[in-house]
Amino acid sequence: MKERTLADFRPMQERCSNCSYCKFIPLDKIRSREFAGGCPSIGYYNFNTYSARGRFQLGVALNRGEDVGEKDLEQVVFSCLSCGACDVSCKICRYNLEPLAHNIALKEALIERGMVPGRVAEERDRLMAAGARAGLCAADLGLPVQGEVLFLPGDRTQESPETADTVCRAAALLRRCGLDIAALSEGFFSGAVLYDMGFRKDFEEIAKENIARIEASGAKEVVTPCADTFYALNRLYPELGLTVPVRHITQVLADLIAQGTLRLTQEVPVRVTYHDPCSLGRKGEAYEPWEGEEKKILNQVHTWEPRRPRYIGNDGVYDAPRAVLRAIPGLELAEMERIREYGYSCGEGAGIPEIDPGLAAFAAHGRLDEAKASEAEQLVTADPSSLLQLRSARRDGDLPVTDLLTLVLAAAGEE
């Protein structure tokens, strides 16, 4: 991956206009005051430094060598979910800034200086000890090790017998639909969470091992039910040499339904609302790191040569899960206020449930409240990690949280 330091972000830091749009979803998307927030970190701490705006200011101070207060600095920098909501909102109203990349670069800069809080170090060590080969393998999934489609079950799927069973049954369903599907002989952990925590070197080590395994498998395509695995393979791994394309399982299911290969015939009479996982949505869109020169015309207008792409999160996987849900007989889809690239984090990202449990619970409760306000009966998601996070945060009166795959299996008569 292209080397980067905090100094590379200096022009971006200086162009932050302190407008605070990054704290909210875009103004024209706001439907209520209660669900206007976009950034869980500023929502929980209610102090400017925790927003993308404040993080740019921290970056300016660090680049100038100012004394920011070591312990406070560490706490603020690592209490960011790397969810990317600020990145979308900022680009709607301002120049082509990339607050998400800057937030992660801040974490990388502190790690480089050895400023790593204990909980962050513990979570990093836990993930690295498990390594690239953690999780369910071909034998666990009941799949062969050779096939045209490589099925990667997900970074946290094995943590719950229920999610593991659902994913195994979903893989079997794909096989019955005619996909020549296989899995790796050992488990697979994408390492995306390490990247989002700022441990770029550790992430690259895991990613390179995984890329070699994927390329050696001979598969023409990867399919995964996991949002973080999709984000890693679609957005991060190509820069490290991955050539095999990836689809999320909802994209495969939507295609099979559209072709008439998968027939959903059983009624599932339930009103659901759908949570867009950040790593499947706005962070899931393909991304090419830009290289070029930033220029200022007449000391006023910023421009980039060559043209610099502007990623606003609208190319994530949003339509496929909704198409699958709408194909289920008897099911009704009620949308929440913050959806698609403006979706609100479930609190799962960047190791935050372990690093800052209060922040993780705050985000999850915000999402559960929003789901209840939609008047749905169940909150559905299409990612084992989001499912486990939302379920672990449920309070009395919150909606049950369901895996989209469970609904598909029921509608296909696979219960």
Positions in the binding site for ligand SF4 (CB under 6 A): 16-22, 38-41, 51-53, 56, 80-86, 89-90, 94, 97, 99-100, 103
Min dist. Cβ of residue 109 to ligand SF4 (A): 15
Min dist. Cβ of residue 320 to ligand SF4 (A): 24
Min dist. Cβ of residue 45 to ligand SF4 (A): 10
Min dist. Cβ of residue 130 to ligand SF4 (A): 25
Compare residues 82 and 386 and give the one whose CB is closer to ligand SF4: 82
Identify the residue whose tokens are 């399919």: 223
Strand duo 293-297 + 301-305: pairing: antiparallel
Compare residues 168 and 192 and give the one whose CB is closer to ligand SF4: 192
The amino acid at residue 336 is M
Compare residues 97 and 410 and give the one whose CB is closer to ligand SF4: 97
Min dist. Cβ of residue 18 to ligand SF4 (A): 5
Question: Omega before 306 cis (within 30°)?
Answer: yes
Angstrom distance (rounded) from CA 200 to CA 198: 6
Min dist. Cβ of residue 9 to ligand SF4 (A): 12
Min dist. Cβ of residue 25 to ligand SF4 (A): 10
Q: In the sheet that 246-248 helps form, which strands lie side by side, from edge to edge?
A: 181-182, 149-151, 221-224, 246-248
The amino acid at residue 154 is G
Compare residues 213 and 365 and give the one whose CB is closer to ligand SF4: 365
Please list, residue by residue across 355-374, b when 16 or more beta carbons sit within 10 angstroms of its beta carbon and e when fewer do. bbeebbbbbbbbbbbbbebb
State which H helix or E strand residue 305 sits in: strand 301-305
CB atoms within 10 A of CB 173: 20
Compare residues 51 and 217 and give the one whose CB is closer to ligand SF4: 51
Beta bridge partners of 275: 381
CB atoms within 10 A of CB 395: 10
Compare residues 89 and 163 and give the one whose CB is closer to ligand SF4: 89
CA-closest candidate to residue 42, choices 69, 14, 80, 78 = 80
Compare residues 273 and 345 and give the one whose CB is closer to ligand SF4: 345
Min dist. Cβ of residue 37 to ligand SF4 (A): 9
Return the structure tokens found at 380: 């559905």
Identify the residue whose tokens are 């920098």: 77
CB atoms within 10 A of CB 390: 27
CB hemisphere CA count around 240 (13 angstroms): 23
Min dist. Cβ of residue 341 to ligand SF4 (A): 12
**Are residues 13 and 102 in contact, defined by beta-carbon separation less than 8 angstroms?**
yes
Compare residues 87 and 403 and give the one whose CB is closer to ligand SF4: 87
Coil/strand/helix, residue 243: coil
What does the DSSP 8-state code read for residue 236?
Answer: I
Compare residues 235 and 322 and give the one whose CB is closer to ligand SF4: 235
